[in-house]
Amino acid sequence: MTQRVHPQVNADRPPVSGWTVGFAVFAGCMMIMAGLFGAITGLAAIVNDDLYVIRGDYVFKWDVTAWGWIHLILGIVVVAAGVAVLTGRTWARAVGMTLAVLSAIANFIFLPYYPVWAIVIIALDVAVIWSLARYSRQAAVDTWG
């Protein structure tokens, strides 16, 4: 038996913008890229804990190996969430935004170890949060089927 969908069901939804879908794809790709970069940064810190040197006196003085594990685990989880965003999973938006916030906080605390890199990742995290906030389940369905 076929299921009939009433044409008025989606009539009150605004049309999905191509920009919205484009930014969601951007967010998913940036999450994958930033997650891989974070994992590589973490792996480098785990393998060689003399790689990153703290500059000046800073409140958050943690062991570089601990930072390595934080970045490695967070990076792997961000990559997985980025893949889920690209596949249009409903839960991936909330998880992606939450992980981007956590990544921004972790990189803010990581500023004295590698300042330029941390600022770049924070900027990417802000772009990912904005992109995922603009994305919707309907956009995913319209784009990916």
Torsion of CA 85, 89, 93, 95, to 10 degrees: -90
Two tokens at 91? 């839960």
Question: Which amino acid is present at 2?
Answer: T
Question: What digits encode the pLDDT tens for the residues 73-84?
Answer: 989 998 999 999
For helices 64-86 and 90-109, the axis angle rounded to 10 degrees is: 160
Question: Do 28 and 83 meet the contact criterion of CB atoms below 8 Å apart?
Answer: yes
- The pLDDT tens digits of the residues spanning 2-52 come to 555 444 445 555 665 677 678 788 888 988 998 898 899 889 888 887 666
pLDDT score of 32: 93
CA 57/CA 139 separation, integer angstroms: 47
From CA 64, how far away is CA 90, in angstroms rounded? 35
Measured distance CA(108)–CA(111) in Å, rounded: 5
Mean pLDDT of 129-144: 67
Q: Dihedral sign, CA of 69, 71, 74, 79?
A: negative
Could you tell me the CA-to-CA distances from 58 to 46, 61, 113, 120 in Å, in that order?
A: 21, 6, 10, 20
Distance between CA atoms of residues 72 and 14, nearest Å: 40
